[in-house]
């Protein structure tokens, strides 16, 4: 089996790469690339994302054919794909960070700034927060409810269909922090920075 971590120059993804290689060891091939042919032939894909929604979408669109290749992989071929942080946010139809930007449109919804309640909650939201797991999922196998995960974000994904929500975290309000739609999975938190619990989520994705 081979897993591709999509490198579209969206910021420092070394921790994602290192975590996947640590968990996979030598049992699973982990490749880091934006090569369309290699992505197409992958068994699973990881879509990381750091920075703003707009900068990530722009970087994705700069690589000719990448957007369509990812959509073909996830939507048409229904192979497992995991989006992390802004990688998850890009599943949305539209994002409002910096300017109105069209997302991948895989899961209907929008990405909006977290309501900091007039400064009561600091933005960006940085640090450890508990997650509330709302339903069973293969990627949350053996993960205890109220586990702590590591977050770095100022914007939240608000899906139209609440049935796709796997978990929320309480920061200003109940913020969606994980989604699942058939073969598409996403975490707003960083599993690669969430200690052993986060590595277990990576392990669960690898073993889907």
Under the banding of pLDDT at 50, 70 and 90, the label for residue 199 is very high
The per-residue pLDDT for range 31-66, each reduced to its tens digit, is 999 999 999 999 999 999 999 999 999 999 999 999
Q: What confidence score (pLDDT) does residue 103 get?
A: 98
Confirm if 70 and 59 have CB atoms less than 8 A apart: no
Preceding peptide of 124 cis, ω within 30°: yes
> Which residues neighbour 103 within 8 Å (Cβ) at sequence distance 6 or greater?
53, 57, 89, 90, 91, 92, 93, 94, 95, 111
Q: What confidence score (pLDDT) does residue 171 get?
A: 92
Question: Closest Cα to residue 134, out of 93, 173, 176?
Answer: 176
Asked if the 2-206 domain carries CATH number 3.40.50.880, the reply is yes
Q: What confidence score (pLDDT) does residue 11 get?
A: 79
Q: What confidence score (pLDDT) does residue 120 get?
A: 83
Question: Greatest CA separation found in the chain?
Answer: 49
Q: What percent of the chain has pLDDT over 70?
A: 100
Q: List the domain boundaries for the chain.
A: 2-206
Rounded to whole angstroms, how far apart are CA atoms 59 and 151? 22
Q: What confidence score (pLDDT) does residue 117 get?
A: 85
What is the pLDDT of the chain when averaged over all its residues?
Answer: 96
Under the banding of pLDDT at 50, 70 and 90, the label for residue 125 is very high
Exactly one of 125, 156, 177, 190 is catalytic; which is it?
A: 190
Helix (H, G, I), strand (E, B) or coil at 28: coil
Instruction: Flag whether pLDDT at 7 surpasses 90.
Output: yes
Instruction: Flag whether pLDDT at 87 surpasses 90.
Output: yes
Exactly one of 97, 156, 180, 192 is catalytic; which is it?
A: 192
Exactly one of 85, 153, 156, 180 is catalytic; which is it?
A: 85
Confirm if 48 and 10 have CB atoms less than 8 A apart: yes
Instruction: Flag whether pLDDT at 109 surpasses 90.
Output: yes
The predicted model gives 8-26 an average pLDDT of: 92
Token reading at 145:
């409810």
- The answer to whether residue 192 is catalytic is yes
The per-residue pLDDT for range 144-176, each reduced to its tens digit, is 999 999 999 999 999 999 999 999 999 989 999
Dump the DSSP string for 196-207: HHHHHHHHHHHT
- The answer to whether residue 85 is catalytic is yes
pTM for this prediction:
0.97
The predicted model gives 109-113 an average pLDDT of: 97
Instruction: Flag whether pLDDT at 184 surpasses 90.
Output: yes
Beta strand 94-95 with 81-84 is unpaired
Q: What confidence score (pLDDT) does residue 44 get?
A: 98
Count Cβ neighbours within 10 Å for each residue of 43-56 and write b for 16 or more, e otherwise: ebbbbbbbebbbbb
């Amino acid at each position: 089996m081979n897993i591709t971590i999509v490198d579209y120059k969206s910021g420092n993804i070394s921790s994602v790469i290192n975590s996947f290689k640590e968990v996979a060891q030598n049992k699973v091939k982990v490749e880091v690339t934006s090569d369309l042919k290699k992505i197409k032939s992958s068994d699973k894909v990881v879509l990381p994302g750091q920075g703003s929604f707009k900068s990530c979408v722009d970087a994705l669109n700069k690589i000719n054919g990448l957007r369509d290749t990812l959509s073909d992989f996830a939507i048409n071929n229904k192979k497992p794909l995991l989006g992390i942080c802004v990688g998850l946010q890009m599943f949305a139809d539209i994002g409002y960070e910096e300017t109105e930007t069209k997302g991948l449109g895989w899961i209907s919804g929008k990405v909006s700034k977290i309501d900091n309640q007039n400064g009561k909650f600091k933005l960006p939201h940085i640090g450890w927060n508990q997650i509330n797991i709302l339903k069973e999922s293969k990627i949350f196998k053996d993960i205890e409810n109220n586990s702590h995960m590591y977050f770095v974000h100022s914007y939240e994904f608000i899906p139209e269909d609440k049935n796709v929500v796997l978990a929320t975290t309480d920061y200003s309000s109940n913020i969606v922090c994980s989604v699942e739609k058939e073969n598409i999975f996403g975490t707003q938190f960083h599993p690669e920075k969430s200690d052993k619990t986060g590595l277990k989520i990576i392990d669960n994705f690898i073993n889907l």
